[in-house]
Amino acid sequence: MMNRQKIPDWTMVLFGMAAQCCVAAEGVSVGKEDAGKRRVLEEVVVSAQKVEQSSQDVPISLTAVSGDFMREVGATGLQDIAPYIPNVRFSSDTDPALAQINIRGFGSNPLNSAFDSSVGFVQDDIFFNRPSYYNEGMFDIARVEVLRGPQGTLFGKNTIAGVFNVATKGPSEVLSADLRLNKSDPEELSLDGGVGGMVTDWFGVRIAAQEIRREGQLHNQFLHRQDDEHEQSGQRLKLLFLPSDNLSIELLGLTSDTSANYWGLQLMNLDEGTTAFLQNYDADIEGDPYNFTSSYDQPGFLDKTSDTVGLKTQWEIGSLGALNDVSAVLVLADTSLTIDSLVDLDTSPADLAGLAVVSDYEQQSAELRFNGTADSLFGIGQGIEFVVGLYVFESRFWQQTQINAGNDFGAYLTTDDALQLISGQTAVSSGGLLSGLNLAGLGLLSDLTGAVIGEDYLQLDYLLNVDAQAVFAQMSWALTEQIVITPGVRFSRESKQADASGQGVCQTAALGTPCIMELALSAEDYDERGLSRNETDVSPKLSFQYYLNSDTNVFLTYARGYKSGGFNASSFGGEDLSFEPEEAATIEAGFKGEFFENTLRINAAIYQTQFDNLQVLAFNGAFFDVTNAASALSQGMEMDFMWLTPFEPLSVSGSLGLLDAKYDSYPNAPAPVTSGLNSNQDLSGKRIAFAPEQSASITPTLTLPLFGLALRASMDYLYQGDQYTDGDLDPNSYLKAYSQVSARISVGAWDQGWALTLGGTNLTDERVLNQVLDTVFFPGSYNARQKSGRKVFASLAFVW
């Protein structure tokens, strides 16, 4: 490992060289006291293999980004740094609950809570098994590591596409504090900071907090509010105890509360009949998804609360026989997450249906692992580093879903859209008769049908208990000074038990009359108790690494992973409740090198991943069914770099991702709703959704002295290729390639820890959609989620 150079704290605030984009999570900027010294890139230390080591020695494709870089670009979550990371995509800029993350084209749709995420989320050594945790505790960040490809050997199940491994700041050696105030237009205010250090030789503390108030950009013209207004508050406490020289105990407490208007969708491609119907409720209704305008009648909301307690104990044991530097690490965690939400299911000004979801999640986990080294293995080789451990996990997830009929649902039943939905044929039409009569325009009709229907809803209840255990081992074995092999394996066992039921509730049910909402959704009552499944898995890994010299190596890695099967949490009829595990095997070859006296770092990898039994959601015309596709193949390339150019004030960083992800075999895939409800198609050989063929970023940065101060200017060019955003590859979900430009300029004092930054994202105000999905009640129309428009911001940061 290279020796770290000491740099002033204020430069970390001003320059953010600790994560100069993707390849360099930490870099060195020459400050005044370092004048005349040669600039070099600093070593990037990661924990991608459960031990701290240089990122250049990890034989997988990974990107490390520091918290300083996140703060520099105004990031408030992982979604804001995704454009800088090759082959990583978030489905939403703002959704606080339904985070869908795709790595190399693969992820899990969160619309059905039965799915575990394909991309694992680990924060401070704690694995969180719900996608809603991606927005929790994302403040006071020290480092984010993005590990691409299956990571089952060390991180376990449900890391089949990759892992976000996040580390937050702990108590520093000396008392220190930092504070950042960020003000944006459109209206957003965020405040975050932390303070702490070693209080005595044996006790340290750090307290950190974040407050976000976002007015939002999506205007609801019906309710006269912003549909993506958002408030979030979080606090984290870390206590560090050092009872002896070889024992450390860290206690973690984290709480987060989020309140938001929900859920930020816009209608798209309204046909003449649908437009005529909705104009009865909003004369200005339109289907333009690029104007940041919605028209809901129900004031949707989301309230989310999470609480986490963790304990990490590390015991430096020392030598044990032939083993050296042995340490034991025990990580215990208990976390809970509650969500209460209501959304306008029809996303329109008509009162047709509301979707209310309440869920409660609890998780307990324990990991015990041992790290160490040895001089050789049975006298062979020049050294070994190893990690072995066991992991225990328990969770309980409860969810209740209600789909409620609104007062205008009876009027909706007189439309061609309802006729198509009930018949299952999108070509069915009244020949313009219903539209011409415009029965919904008779206001009395809604009043009468609303009174007749009364309280009418479909209720789905779901309870899932999970028990999982695993043992794992991995070692890096240096056969010679140039050759290192890294074998690893994980054996996992998992048990799931579930209860699932669905029931129509209405005032006429006692008379044997079907409930309106249940009938409209083609649902049936069911009650399945005691569902169970047991799974075992072996996830091996083998890497071969060859060092051309001390700064450059090439590697070849094979790894397997799996995502567990489960039970459909949103079945309308109780059929096909179970779905099977998803498996992946990948092989990647990479190159990691530093050149020109450690002023240029380039990391690159090519890969191929085979997915079997791919878990997908299929839209059935009313809601989403869970099924397994046959297989899929992803192959491509990732590269990122950091360059301290010969022109001393200039540094350049960037990334490139090339992706070719296709269904290998998917003969009974759902067809677009325009082909008829419940229609199928053969998608074998077709490109999968959320898989842009190219993604790229480049960030030049200038650092100059200015009247005794320091000035730093950066510009980002971010590109993402064309892609589909719905699993049926509906042409209406196809999004063209786009590019965005962001920029920042910072000024700070040489001798004081402060920096003022002015910047902006999407400065050209590119109007881009992030996702397009079918609507529930208007066949042939769509819901679109728009990416954020132009945003300018000013921030003031202090470090003491």
Q: How far is CA 547 from the centre of its chain?
A: 34
pLDDT of 436 over the 60 cut? no
Residue 3 confidence class, pLDDT cut points 50, 70, 90: very low
Using pLDDT thresholds of 50, 70 and 90, give the confidence band for residue 193.
very high
Segment 314-371, tens digit of pLDDT: 999 999 999 999 999 999 999 999 999 999 999 999 999 999 999 999 999 999 999 9
The model's pLDDT over 122-164, given as tens digits with 9 standing for 90+, comes to 999 999 999 889 889 899 999 999 999 999 999 988 899 999 9
3-state secondary structure of 135: helix
In a domain, 498, yes or no: yes
List of residues 6+ apart from 378 with CB closer than 8 A: none
Q: Give per-residue pLDDT as tens, 44-79.
A: 999 999 999 999 999 999 999 998 888 888 888 888
Contact 67, 76 (CB under 8 A): no
Residue 198 and residue 207: Cα distance in Å, rounded?
12
Q: What torsion, rounded to 10 degrees, do the Cα atoms 588, 92, 182, 303 define?
A: -120
CA dihedral 412, 415, 417, 422 (to 10 degrees): 80
User: Measuring CA to CA, which residue among 179, 156, 151, 175 is closest to residue 71?
Assistant: 179
Q: Say which CATH number the domain at 283 has.
A: 2.40.170.20
Reported as a single tens digit per residue, the pLDDT across 692-726 is: 999 999 999 999 998 889 999 999 999 999 999 98
H runs (alpha helix) in 457-582: 516-520
**Could you tell me the pLDDT band of residue 17, with boundaries at 50, 70 and 90?**
very low
Would the CA dihedral through 412, 416, 422, 426 be positive or negative? Answer: negative
| Residue at 496 is within a domain | yes
Task: Compute φ and ψ for 434, nearest 5 degrees.
Answer: -65, -40
- Whether 1 is in a domain gets the answer no
Q: Is 481 left (phi over 0), alpha (psi -120 to 50) or beta?
A: alpha
User: How much of the chain is helix, strand and coil, in % rounded to 5?
Assistant: 10, 55, 35
Residue 320 CA: distances (Å) to CA of 164, 324, 389:
34, 6, 17
Looking at the structure of the chain, the number of domains it has is: 1
Record the pTM.
Answer: 0.92
Task: Please state, for a pLDDT cut of 90, what percent of the chain lies above it.
Answer: 70
Q: What is the pLDDT of residue 224?
A: 96
Instruction: Domain of residue 110: give its range.
Output: 9-799
In-domain check, residue 122: yes
Per-residue confidence (pLDDT) for residue 602, from 0 to 100: 97
Position 22 pLDDT exceeds 80: no
Query: Does 32 have pLDDT greater than 70?
Result: no
Locus of tokens 């937050």: 168
Question: What confidence score (pLDDT) does residue 416 get?
Answer: 85
Q: What is the pLDDT of residues 650-690, one digit of tens each?
A: 999 999 999 999 999 999 888 888 787 778 899 999 999 99
**What's residue 5's pLDDT?**
34
What does the alpha-carbon distance between residue 411 and residue 443 come to, in Å, rounded to a whole number?
A: 9
Is residue 4 in some structural domain?
no
Q: Is residue 143 part of a domain?
A: yes
Residue 528 located in a structural domain: yes
pLDDT confidence of residue 441: 54
In a domain, 363, yes or no: yes
- Mean pLDDT computed over 421-447: 60
% pLDDT > 70, the chain: 90
Determine the average pLDDT of the residues in 488-516. Answer: 89
Nearest alpha-carbon partner for 188 in 797, 793, 796, 798:
793
Compute the mean pLDDT over every residue in the chain, rounded to the nearest whole number: 88
CA distance linking residue 570 with residue 574, whole number of Å: 9
| Chain mean position to CA 549 | 37
- Least trusted range by pLDDT, from 74-83, 214-223, 284-293: 74-83
Gap between the Cα atoms of 662 and 423, Å rounded: 33
In this model, does residue 770 exceed pLDDT 70?
yes
Contact at 8 Å (CB) between 124 and 707? no
